[in-house]
Amino acid sequence: MKTMEQTMRWYGPNDPVTLSDIRQAGATGIVTALHEIPNGEVWTKDAIKNRKRLIEEAGLRWSVAESVPVHELIKRRSGNFQELIENYKLTIKNLASEGIHIICYNFMPILDWIRTELDYELPNGAKTLNFEMRALAAFDCFILKREGAKKSYPAHILEKAEIYYQGLTTEEVEKLKSTILDNLPGAEIGYSLEEFQDALNNYQNIDTLTLENNLHLFLNEIIPVAEENNVFLAIHPDDPPYPIFGLPRIMSTATDIKRILSENSSPNNGITFCTGSLGVREDNKLVQIIKEYGDHIHFVHLRSTKRDKEGNFYEAGHLEGDVPMYGVVKELLQLQESRNKQLPMRPDHGQQLLHDLTVKTNPGYSGIGRLKGLAELRGLMHGILNENA
């Protein structure tokens, strides 16, 4: 048995965490995207080649493209979505021609992942990402003032949200706004309050079934291209894995995974197994999901969260929190045995530790926190692989 391929996300030449840092952390693979290309445009062969050269010159390999963002118009099947799908197909081909065969994407409406606090301090002085329902509800009901927002939350959360909101200074309101709408890397798009409201309005007639069908139709088009080019598509789960802002969510549970994989049946149609996102729901039994859908796991994000019963969670250490990491990693290593290639994993996010606390890095993507996460996970893999030695 071998370890999984150890990778780290890199946000490109402007990332304060360098390729050399990542190599020193012990990763051999890079997960990245051409973040500078606007959503919907083709990633040309040249642009891919140039980025790949930088990675290889640093002694690393470009293992996964994360993400090739799906344009909002494709999710809504509106405007020139057909042209945008053609662009997506071309990007798949171009990546494959440069040897990049795994593509991570998501189908979350408007926003990618969401947190309400980027610097939640833990008792030991480290900082981490946090998601609080009262903050989300405060933003939704009292800052955005979305029509009907109050119906989205139980009374006790609304009550907490109101008290929380009343306690915020003007600066804190601004901070919450930008944390939710404009601060997390990867989505490539930030919104002002007005833009966000407009974007929400565009989803008024899109319910869960419609969004599910839009994904299905998108996959109908891109899977044949993935198959022809030996590319493995890996949809990322919703983060958090439940509806927010009244928007439909279609990749949050084991049932969603089952539907997505069966409606477009192909070995190239797969998932990013993200323990941090899925693990926020108690009903997502992570080891069971690997057992059932392992053949379609093309990429792994390992991270843990500590959740409560109200939907709040913070990002715990990689071997702490609610994710049964030992069982998960053991199952993944077994899964890998049945394949002839290594499964790429990355320590998803990291806390801000030591030097991280004094520098500005992409939220969730500091150097030392992820180095620690990767080291712990590597140790865990090593232990499991040598259990009977």
Site residues (vs ligand DNO, CB under 6 A): 66-67, 104-106, 112-113, 186, 236, 301, 348-349, 364
Residue keyed to tokens 């969510």:
249
Catalytic residue among 141, 238, 349, 356: 349
**300: closest CA among 59, 29, 60?**
29
b/e map of 108-139 (b: 16 or more CB within 10 Å)? bbbbbbbbbbbebebeeebbbbbbbbbbbbbb
Least separation in angstroms between residue 272's CB and ligand DNO is: 7
318 labelled catalytic: no
Least separation in angstroms between residue 334's CB and ligand DNO is: 24
Least separation in angstroms between residue 264's CB and ligand DNO is: 17
Least separation in angstroms between residue 184's CB and ligand DNO is: 7
Phi, psi torsion values for 79, nearest 5 degrees: 60, -135
Q: How far is the C-alpha of 319 from the C-alpha of 120, rounded, in Å? A: 19
Residue closer to ligand DNO (CB basis): 106 or 264: 106
365 labelled catalytic: yes
Residue closer to ligand DNO (CB basis): 40 or 364: 364
Q: What is the dihedral of CA 113, 285, 156, 148, to 10 degrees?
A: 50
Q: How many CB atoms lie within 10 A of CB 40?
A: 19
Residue closer to ligand DNO (CB basis): 178 or 334: 178
b/e map of 371-380 (b: 16 or more CB within 10 Å)? bbbbebbbeb
Least separation in angstroms between residue 208's CB and ligand DNO is: 19
236 labelled catalytic: yes
Q: How far is the C-alpha of 196 from the C-alpha of 229, rounded, in Å? A: 36
Residue closer to ligand DNO (CB basis): 66 or 117: 66
Phi, psi torsion values for 131, nearest 5 degrees: -130, 120
Residue closer to ligand DNO (CB basis): 55 or 278: 278
Tokens of 297: 């796991």
Residue closer to ligand DNO (CB basis): 186 or 294: 186
Q: Is the peptide bond before 338 cis (omega within 30 degrees of 0)?
A: no
Catalytic residue among 88, 239, 274, 296: 274
Q: For the chain, how big is the Rg over CA atoms in Å?
A: 20
Q: How far is the C-alpha of 345 from the C-alpha of 364, rounded, in Å? A: 16
Least separation in angstroms between residue 383's CB and ligand DNO is: 26
Catalytic residue among 236, 296, 298, 318: 236
Residue closer to ligand DNO (CB basis): 108 or 149: 108
Tokens of 349: 């996010």
**184: closest CA among 35, 310, 31?**
35
112 labelled catalytic: no
Least separation in angstroms between residue 5's CB and ligand DNO is: 17
Q: Is the peptide bond before 243 cis (omega within 30 degrees of 0)?
A: no
Residue closer to ligand DNO (CB basis): 186 or 270: 186
- Pairing type for strands 127-131 and 117-121 reads antiparallel
Catalytic residue among 88, 301, 314, 356: 301
Q: Which of helix, strand or coil describes residue 327?
A: helix
Least separation in angstroms between residue 171's CB and ligand DNO is: 26
List active site positions.
236, 274, 301, 348-349, 365
